[in-house]
Amino acid sequence: QAVHLKDYAPVPVTVTHVDLTFRLDPQATRVLARLTCERRGPGDMVLDGEALRTIRVALDGAEIAPEIEGDRMILRDAPDAFVLETEVEIAPERNTELSGLYISGGMYCTQCEAEGFRRITWMLDRPDVMATYDVRIESDLPVLLSNGDEVAQGVWRDPWPKPTYLFALVAGDLVAEADTFTTSEGREVALNVWVRPGDEGRTSYAMDALKRSMAWDERVYGRAYDLSVFNIVAVDDFNMGAMENKGLNIFNSRYVLASPETATDADYANIERIVAHEYFHNWTGNRITCRDWFQLCLKEGLTVFRDQQFMQDMRSQAVQRIGDVMTLRARQFREDAGPLAHPVRPESFVEINNFYTATVYEKGAEVIGMLRRIVGAEGYDRAVALYFARHDGEACTVEDWLACFEEACDVDLAQFKLWYSQAGTPHVEVRDSFNDGLYRIDMKQVVPPTPGQPDKAPMAIPLAFGLLDTAGNEIRETEVHVMTQAEEHLTFEMAERPVLSMLRGFSGPVMLDHPMEDVDRLRLLAQDTDPFCRWEAGRRLAKERLIAAIGEDVALDADWLDAVAALATDATADPAFRALALALPSEDDLAGSLHEAGVVPDPDAIYAARRHAQMAMAERLSSAIPALRDACATAGQYDPRAEDAGKRALSATLLRLQTFLDGGAAARAAYDAADNMTDRMAAFACLLEAGDESVAARFESDWRHDRLVMDKWFAAQVSHAAPRDAVDVAKRLTAHSLFDPANPNRVRSVLGALTAANPAGFHAPDGRGYRFYADWLLRLDGMNPQLSARLSTAFETWRRYDADRQALISAQLDRIAATDGLSRDLSEMIGRIRG
């Protein structure tokens, strides 16, 4: 049942051109396909098809009786060149999996990555089969879209050979915001952002982000767009964030639609990043694609890295980097430390959709960042230019990518390549000492065992570091040491003991264990030149205190609170940075750290310790908060740019602290005064935490009509419920008339919020959170296996917890595993989680 990387073989017969006609109908859509096929070697042609009603198959015009076995059609003794015609019937309206052709909010749309095309028609549904496409859409609907350039109404031609997963079709009653872009090569490109009537007026930020992305890719990577039109479509029902279909990107509407009244600063930032991400795929993914799905990181890791670079250029480099590290640690380190750990390039899978993971995406991006650090910015540019020149139009492997670096930069990447094959987060232990004018740094690396990989070899880890004197002046600027052995040391002659600023910019995705005196950490927090290390120093200080306070009633020391206050009130520092530095490590982060240290985490005690620390911070800052919040006021109308967003973020952080002191008085005023959704949500969260009885009803009556805003309403109530109420709140909300299990965003807004934002609620000691959650996984699995499988990752940390909780979770996992008719997606996940 599992597919293995080592078994890769090219197809004996390929398809070079695809001609498709769609006769759209919700219950019975007819798909007529003409595949131009060519033999490349000996063997049978095996086509993929799933949930198709096959009506007719013909080879070179002569009808044949196809040999169909389950999801495969086998064509034996095919000639050297021929045309294969098929006619099938599919039912978009009954497609609740949201894979293939389905209907969302009255419009037809598609999602073909990874293996959805086979649910549309018979085809070699694999990324190394690249073909040109002609598509004809027959329907009365006014807007008919597909890939490439429009030849006539509803007729599209895509001249760029592409794999099936990049195919797309959209049909509906849609309206567009239109614009144009002229490429550096002089091509006039029509740009459209298509939405349902009623959503016009919320597309301008996505359009703006698109134009900036196009200009950025030309300027930074020398990549220009290659068709006469670029369409973006927003759909409400979507399993993931968005999809880079050639010339026709399809988006989860939450990553397109924004207005100041309905979207938060975080929404705007996500839109900017995801629009860029999908656009950047046009070169890293589409023009150069993946040979097979094991190479997914080749396009995703690289494209995430590119979207991170773009965001750093558009916004604050420091704040973006810290945010990206926070995401990596929250999702990828968590994944790497549990039963779902897998390499950036997995070696086998049962269901590929289960491998669109933080490891493939986010760690995949870190691997690109490390490469760039090792070969330098210019070397990176040379290698990437070679990659584009050499592999344009091809379906490639990680080896092809690395070979470009080895040739362009004259490096040997044999050891570096372990980043693609060894799972687990390396632990780097750093100890430093100073004796008689000699400063010595001892480093040790250990890569922990992960499922199927008990023993690991040392990796090539770029460690960027600098040295400060004890007064906080930098005495050695950042240099990069590439650690390659299990143990190494560095020595420096110095007059006095320096302070080590290690892992600057988070130069590698590792866990750093570097004990340090508080005074030195405080020094780094106040004065390091590297913003990541500044933030990290504050983070470590906070974490140590929180961990000490868990289960104990210890007072928080004045030194730390003074440092927190100094940062909060430092008007010279970027407000966005101050907001990040004032935020405490999350409950899940603390649980992971405790587990890492061999301590069984208690979710309630963690929750209480964080509240305790927030209360102490609030008291320390109490007299300063009103003036600090006034200083965060932004002038004029709401503007989503980073500068204003940073002020709002700091203001929200302070409002949160204030709520600990005034029971919600300031938050109530802020809610009433809010003229944008960012401020409104910040106040709403505070009021929910303060136990305000009426604010949820008021919010609901104001926003009932708005799908995306109501997602926030659902999520906030679960996230900010007291832990003992959280499961009941989630239950009540899943029974709400606006709860729709067919809409992934809505489902995530309740179930995702419970597990991600209210861990103490989810882990209720009597197991009611687990039971509730498992019930929903089973119910959703019958409709949308990708969604149930994704949500099941909430259980990946189960081995961290006490024996009682483990037994309760295990019982739910067993119950799910024993259920008849479980999807391949969910059964693979549950099997791996159980271990």
Judged by the rule CB under 6 A, the positions of this chain that interact with ligand ARG are 111, 113-114, 239-240, 242-244, 277-278, 300, 353, 356, 786
Contacts to Zn ion from residues 131-160, by CB under 5 A: none
755 binds, among Zn ion, ligand ARG, none (CB under 5 to 8 A by kind): none
Cα end-to-end distance, the chain, whole Å: 17
Comparing CB distances to Zn ion, the nearer of 281 and 372 is: 281
Instruction: State the minimum distance, in angstroms, from the CB of residue 366 to Zn ion.
Output: 15
Instruction: State the minimum distance, in angstroms, from the CB of residue 6 to ligand ARG.
Output: 23
**For residue 830, what are the CA distances in angstroms to 349, 817, 826?**
14, 7, 6
Residues present in the chain in total: 835
Cα maximum dimension of the chain = 90
- Tally the C-alpha atoms within 13 A of residue 474's C-alpha that lie toward its C-beta: 13
Instruction: State the minimum distance, in angstroms, from the CB of residue 46 to Zn ion.
Output: 28
For residues 371 and 143, what is the distance between their CA atoms, to the nearest angstrom? 44
Estimate the crossing angle of helix 558-569 against helix 531-549, to 10 degrees.
140
Beta bridge partners of 103: 108
Comparing CB distances to Zn ion, the nearer of 244 and 587 is: 244
Comparing CB distances to ligand ARG, the nearer of 121 and 239 is: 239
114 binds, among Zn ion, ligand ARG, none (CB under 5 to 8 A by kind): ligand ARG
For residues 825 and 97, what is the distance between their CA atoms, to the nearest angstrom? 11
Can you give 283-316 as a three-state secondary structure string? CECCCEEECCHHHHHHHHHHHHHHHHHHHHHHCC
Q: Which residue has the tokens 């570097």?
A: 514
Neighbouring CB atoms inside 10 A of 766's CB total 10
Q: Which of 251, 344, 340, 333 is nearest to 298 (CA)?
A: 344
Query: What does DSSP say about strands 229-235 and 188-195: parallel, antiparallel, or unpaired?
Result: parallel
239 binds, among Zn ion, ligand ARG, none (CB under 5 to 8 A by kind): ligand ARG
- At 565, the amino acid letter reads A
Helix (H, G, I), strand (E, B) or coil at 533: helix
Binding mask 536-565 for Zn ion (x = CB under 5 A): ------------------------------
Q: Which of 89, 48, 87, 90 is nearest to 70 (CA)?
A: 48
Neighbouring CB atoms inside 10 A of 175's CB total 18
Comparing CB distances to ligand ARG, the nearer of 158 and 307 is: 307
Instruction: State the minimum distance, in angstroms, from the CB of residue 654 to ligand ARG.
Output: 35
240 binds, among ligand ARG, Zn ion, none (CB under 5 to 8 A by kind): ligand ARG
**Token pair of 830 as six digits:** 């549950």
Instruction: State the minimum distance, in angstroms, from the CB of residue 735 to ligand ARG.
Output: 29
The interface region with Zn ion, picked from 45-53, 295-303, 401-409, 636-644 by CB under 5 A, is 295-303
The interface region with Zn ion, picked from 105-113, 296-304, 414-422, 693-701 by CB under 5 A, is 296-304
Binding mask 299-318 for Zn ion (x = CB under 5 A): -x--x---------------
243 binds, among ligand ARG, Zn ion, none (CB under 5 to 8 A by kind): ligand ARG
Instruction: State the minimum distance, in angstroms, from the CB of residue 304 to ligand ARG.
Output: 8
Q: Which residue has the tokens 């009786």?
A: 65
For residues 731 and 743, what is the distance between their CA atoms, to the nearest angstrom? 17
Query: What does DSSP say about strands 175-182 and 169-172: parallel, antiparallel, or unpaired?
Result: unpaired
Region of residue 691 (left: phi > 0; alpha: psi -120 to 50; beta: else): left
Query: What does DSSP say about strands 487-493 and 438-446: parallel, antiparallel, or unpaired?
Result: antiparallel
DSSP state of 398: H
712 within 8 A of 681, measured Cβ to Cβ: yes
Comparing CB distances to ligand ARG, the nearer of 786 and 793 is: 786
Instruction: State the minimum distance, in angstroms, from the CB of residue 422 to ligand ARG.
Output: 24
Query: Judging by beta carbons within 10 Å of its beta carbon (0-12, 13-18, 19+), is residue 410 exposed, middle or buried?
Result: exposed
199 binds, among ligand ARG, Zn ion, none (CB under 5 to 8 A by kind): none
Active-site pick, 113, 115, 278, 300: 278
594 binds, among ligand ARG, Zn ion, none (CB under 5 to 8 A by kind): none
Instruction: State the minimum distance, in angstroms, from the CB of residue 708 to ligand ARG.
Output: 20
Comparing CB distances to ligand ARG, the nearer of 651 and 786 is: 786
Comparing CB distances to ligand ARG, the nearer of 127 and 148 is: 127
Comparing CB distances to ligand ARG, the nearer of 346 and 531 is: 346
686 binds, among Zn ion, ligand ARG, none (CB under 5 to 8 A by kind): none
Instruction: State the minimum distance, in angstroms, from the CB of residue 289 to Zn ion.
Output: 12
Q: Which residue has the tokens 């091809």?
A: 394
278 included as an active-site residue: yes
Comparing CB distances to ligand ARG, the nearer of 114 and 144 is: 114
| Residues taking part in catalysis | 278
Binding stretches for Zn ion (CB under 5 A): 300, 303
